[in-house]
Amino acid sequence: MSKNNEIQKWVKTPSVSGSTSDSKIIAIANQKGGVGKTTTSVNLATSLAAVGKKVLLVDLDAQGNASTGLSIGRSERDRSAYELLFGDLSLSEVVHDTKVPGLKIVPSSMHLSGAEIELVQEKRREFKLREALRAPSADRYDYVVIDCPPSLSLTTLNALVAADSVIVPLQCEFYALEGLSQLIKTIERVKKHFNEDLEIQGVVLTMFDSRNNLSKMVAEDVREYFGDKVYKTVIPRNVRISEAPSYGLPAIVYDMSCAGSQAYIALAKEVLKQERTRIRMSANAHTDEAEKSAA
C-alpha cells in the first residue's frame, strides 16, 4: 500500500469530535528517565492531530526534548511552560505553532529546573498548572498531552493535578516495574487530596524487542500486574523512532511507514476508542439518571 493510501485509510477512521466541551488532559508520566515518555508524548500528540483533533503538547521537562523534537529553538523558549506555571503569562501567550497541522506546543525552558524550589513558596503550589490550563482562554483543544520530567517532583505533581488521566510508558527491560509502586502511590495521593477524578488511562509498553526473551517476559509480567490497563499496542524498538528528533520531526512525520510510527498510530486509535467508550458510558449514565428522576 502506498504511503498516501495508508494515510487516507487512517485519516478516515471515525473519530470523536466536539462531543465534550472540555479538553481531555493526559499526563505522560514515569519517574524513570529514558522509558519513552517524550517519544510517546510527541508521537501520540502528532497522531491525534493527524486525525483532525486540536492538540496541545506541554513540555514540562527542563531538558526540553519534546520542544527540540518539534523544532522549537532555544530562542523561542522565553514564552514557555515556566511562565505558564508561575502565572506570568497566559496559555495563549505561551503556545507556539509546530510543523504539524493541528498540533501546538508550550515549550520547556531551562528555568524549569529551578521551578521545584520556587514552587515550594507559592500559594496553591500543586494547582498552578491546573489553574493555568483550565483558565478561560480563546484556545480550545480536544487533547492536551503533558510530557512530564523524570521525577516525582512538584512539577510532576502539578501535571497530575492538572490532568484527567495518566498514561504510563514502561520500557520492556528488567527493572520496568521497579519504582512503579511509588508512582501509583503518588497518583493515589493526588486523587485523595487534589484531583479525585484522576485515573490511570493506560500503560504502554515501549522499546519492545521481539528477538529478546526478556522483553517478552517483562511484557507478560506487566500484563499480569495491570491487566486490561495495558494497551494492546506495543511500541517496538525501532531506529527510525530514535533518529526522528534529530531532524526536529515526530517519527510519524519523519517516516510514517516504519514499525514504530505504525505502532504509535495504533496506540492513538486505542486512546480515541477509550474516549468514545467513556463518552458513551457517561451519556448512558446521564440518560439513566434523567429516566430515574422522570419516573
Ligand X SMILES: Nc1ncnc2c1ncn2[C@@H]1O[C@H](COP(=O)(O)OP(=O)(O)O)[C@@H](O)[C@H]1O
User: Smallest distance, Å, CB 59 to Mg ion?
Assistant: 9
Helix, strand, coil percentages for the chain (3-state, nearest 5): 50, 15, 35
Measured from the CB atom, the residue of 28 and 48 that comes closer to ligand X is: 28
> What are the backbone angles phi and psi of residue 13, rounded to the nearest 5°?
-55, 125
If one asks whether residue 38 binds ligand X (CB under 6 A), the answer comes out as: yes
> What are the cell numbers at 50?
493527524
Q: State how far the Cα of 75 lies from the Cα of 89, in Å rounded to an integer.
A: 17
How many angstroms separate the Cα of 134 from the Cα of each of 24, 76, 107?
11, 24, 18
Task: Identify which of residues 125 and 269 has a Cβ nearer to ligand X in the complex.
Answer: 269
Residue 262 binds ligand X, judged by CB under 6 A: no
Nearest to 63 by CA among 183, 129, 148: 148
Q: Does 33 bind ligand X (CB under 6 A)?
A: yes
Stretch of residues binding Mg ion (CB under 5 A), selected from 58-66, 104-112, 131-139, 279-287: 58-66
Is 242 an interacting residue with respect to ligand X (CB under 6 A)?
yes
Q: How far apart are CA 127 and CA 131, in angstroms?
A: 6
Give 33 or 87: the residue with its C-beta nearer to ligand X: 33
129 within 8 A of 83, measured Cβ to Cβ: no
Name the minimum Å distance from CB 41 to ligand X.
Answer: 8
Comparing CB distances to ligand X, the nearer of 91 and 157 is 157
- Nearer to ligand X by Cβ, of 33 and 179: the residue is 33
Least distance to ligand X, CB of residue 57, Å: 13
CA 120 vs. chain centroid, Å, equals 25
- How many residues interact with ligand X (rule CB under 6 A)? 18
- Number of residues engaging Mg ion in binding (CB under 5 A): 3
CA distance 195 to 148: 17
Radius of gyration of the chain (CA): 19
User: Quick one: which of 23, 31, 39, 165 contacts ligand X (CB under 6 A)?
Assistant: 39
Contact 140, 23 (CB under 8 A): yes
Binding mask 33-52 toward Mg ion (x if CB under 5 A, else -) reads ----xx--------------
**Closer of 255 and 275 to ligand X (Cβ):** 255
Our finding on whether 261 is near ligand X (CB under 6 A) is: no
Kindly state the smallest distance separating residue 109's Cβ from ligand X, in Å.
Answer: 17
CB of 66 to Mg ion, least distance (A): 7
**Structure-block grid coordinates of residue 81:** 511552560
Residue 212 CB neighbours (<10 A): 13
Residue 104 found at the interface with ligand X (CB under 6 A): no
Contact 23, 77 (CB under 8 A): no
Q: Which residues have C-beta within 8 Å of that of residue 287, sequence separation ≥ 6?
A: none
Nearer to ligand X, 102 or 149 (CB): 149
Q: Which residue is it, cell 529514558? A: 34
Site for ligand X in 210-239 (CB under 6 A): 235, 237-238
| Residue ranges binding Mg ion (CB under 5 A) | 37-38, 65
| Residue ranges binding ligand X (CB under 6 A) | 33-39, 65, 150, 206-207, 235, 237-238, 241-242, 245, 260
